[in-house]
Amino acid sequence: MLTRLKNVILPTRGGWSAQESRISIFLGRVFATIAVILVCIWCMKTNTDEKYLGGISFSNINRIFNLHPMCMVISMLFFMGMSLTSFRDGYSFKVSKYLHLNFNLLAKVFMIVGLRSAYIYRDEPEGKHSSYHYQHFGTMHSWMGLVTSFLLFQQDLLGGINFLYPKICGVPRYIIKGYKEYHGVMGKASFVMAGVAMVTGEILYSTLLFYY
């Protein structure tokens, strides 16, 4: 069942030629980089003609929320994408494993900053009384983001136990072998869910700005 789900979410290497795999990964990284650049411009540029969010700031409550879309796109789209494809770059397994780990850690740093900025904004009076305020976890976007974040953190926890410190944690080899497939499937599923969360967030933000 896990194998079928994995093939639906992302074709296996056997389904693609090596050249097709390299091209798809290269194009994916190019488009992810372009998306990050555009979102950073959208969030960081001053709102002179109401096409941009007006910049970011840790001290200005009206601008701290702008960290949320920027950090989440960097985390979920760029670093998660780099992490997922790190084993297809042609490096040794050991190098690929540590690239995978470091990209995941960077993704979590930006994710925590993004989640925290949204939480702070919603708790401050300026955020609570803004014209397009809504409660914590009052939208599908927020619940999708919460579930995705939970999946990603459990991936890190269980992945660390099974792959980084199996001897210290006393994990039997048969469990590691069985968990490996689960880890790959859930990693790809989490990436798809992150994409859905980002799209629903953009739709939500655009809709609120349009009506208010």
The model's pLDDT over 89-101, given as tens digits with 9 standing for 90+, comes to 888 888 998 999 9
Q: For residue 12, give both structure tokens.
A: 């296996």
Task: Give yes or no for a contact between 204 and 194, defined as CB atoms under 8 angstroms apart.
Answer: no
Model pTM above 0.85: no
Q: Say which residues have a Cβ less than 8 Å from residue 193's Cβ, sequence separation at least 6.
A: 144, 147, 148, 151
Distance from the Cα of residue 168 to its chain's centroid: 29
pLDDT bin (cut points 50, 70, 90) of residue 30 is very high
Distance CA 14, CA 27 (A): 20
Quick one: pLDDT at residue 48? 59
Residue 30 host element (H or E): helix 18-44
